[in-house]
């Protein structure tokens, strides 16, 4: 059970602020969870850590721990993430590439008529998933489909944070001085049923796709329920030259994410798979 989900009472939904996230990380030494040594490379980095940095909290802040403490880190950060989007020019090629790296073959999700794309799903744990997305040649291409069509290799392009209320999330963003667009979305599953959701896209922050868009799902099921098992989100972090600015944006939007200062901006997801631990990165 995710400690974050238990404490939030939102069935895995967590958009807590940085201060609460750092407290949970410190408590992880006593409460159990994913075991990792703070400060080692990404192959040992726990959820909410930046690699090679000791005692880094979920928002890049620092937690004071006794010398020699081995952190047992709750999977709190993974609970903030609803899904990751792994984009490609060809869906079948991307599914095959994922299976080659992980031994997990994503299953068909359906079409996005408004976007000109189709997708496949693989679960990343309870109520979170990897969405493999590519242009659908049977649909008129939208802006996203045209962007994906130019990609040379599958790449992590963005991520989504789950919210229980798209309206409340939009209101919070606007209260912080950002612009928020609320967009209804849907796709047709292979069995003909519609999956419906509401997205919130926040702009005016300068963080690009390192800042998530938000999703509120409608109906009792979740897309992760349709995906094959075998993958687990172990860690998610943003790397950027503007680390402090990004942390400020995430705090304003009440999102927890490990932020590391780096020469170039990219999102990095660490997954546990049947073939071992791997990274998906981009854009």
Here the tokens at position 279 are: 């990274």
Give the residue ranges of the chain where pLDDT is below 70. 1-79
pLDDT of res. 8: 32
Tell me if residue 213 falls in helix, strand or coil: strand
E strand segments, 136-275: 155-162, 179-188, 194-203, 213-218, 232-240, 258-261, 266-273
Between the CA atoms of 217, 220, 224 and 226, what dihedral angle is there, to the nearest 10 degrees?
-120
* pLDDT of the residue at 39: 23
What count of other Cβ atoms lies within 10 Å of the Cβ of residue 31?
12
Q: Listing from the earlier edge strand, what are the strands of the sheet with 276-282?
A: 258-261, 232-240, 266-273, 276-282
pLDDT of 54 reads 32
Please tell me what DSSP assigns to residue 16. Answer: -
d(CA 108, CA 111): 9
CA separation (Å) from 120 to 57, 111, 130, 233? 33, 9, 8, 17
Beta bridge pairs of residue 199 = 183, 215
Q: CATH topology for 81-229?
A: 2,3-Dihydroxybiphenyl 1,2-Dioxygenase; domain 1 (3.10.180)
For the chain, helix (H) and strand (E) counts, in that order, are: 7, 14
Show me where the domains of the chain are located: 81-229
Query: What is the model's pLDDT at position 51?
Result: 55
Residue 97: the pLDDT is: 96
**So what's the pLDDT on residue 188?**
77
pLDDT, tens digit (0-9, with 9 covering 90-100), for 115-163: 999 999 999 998 899 999 999 999 999 999 999 999 999 999 999 999 9
Q: What is the pLDDT of residue 186?
A: 82
């Amino acid at each position: 059970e995710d400690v974050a989900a238990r404490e939030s009472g939102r069935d895995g939904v967590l958009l807590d602020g940085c201060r609460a996230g750092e407290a949970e990380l410190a408590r992880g030494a006593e409460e159990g969870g994913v075991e990792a040594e703070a400060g080692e490379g990404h192959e040992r980095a726990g959820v909410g850590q930046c690699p090679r940095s000791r005692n880094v909290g979920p928002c890049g802040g620092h937690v004071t721990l006794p010398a020699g403490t081995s952190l047992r880190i709750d999977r709190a950060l993974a609970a903030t993430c609803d899904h990751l989007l792994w984009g490609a020019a060809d869906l079948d090629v991307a599914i095959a590439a994922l299976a080659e790296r992980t031994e997990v073959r994503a299953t068909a999700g359906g079409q996005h008529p408004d976007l000109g794309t189709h997708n496949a799903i693989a679960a990343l744990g309870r109520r979170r998933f990897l969405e493999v997305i590519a242009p659908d040649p049977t649909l008129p291409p939208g802006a996203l489909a045209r962007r994906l069509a130019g990609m040379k290799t599958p790449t992590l392009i963005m991520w989504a944070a789950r919210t229980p209320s798209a309206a409340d999330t939009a209101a919070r963003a606007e209260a912080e001085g950002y612009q928020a667009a609320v967009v209804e979305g849907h796709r047709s599953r292979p069995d003909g049923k519609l999956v419906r959701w509401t997205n919130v896209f926040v702009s005016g922050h300068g963080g690009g796709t390192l800042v998530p868009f938000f999703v509120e799902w409608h109906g009792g099921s979740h897309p992760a329920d349709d995906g094959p098992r075998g993958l687990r989100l172990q860690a998610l972090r943003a790397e950027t030259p503007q680390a402090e600015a990004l942390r400020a944006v995430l705090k304003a939007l009440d999102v927890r994410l490990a932020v590391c200062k780096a020469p170039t901006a990219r999102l990095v997801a660490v997954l546990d798979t049947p073939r071992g631990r791997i990274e998906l990165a981009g854009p």
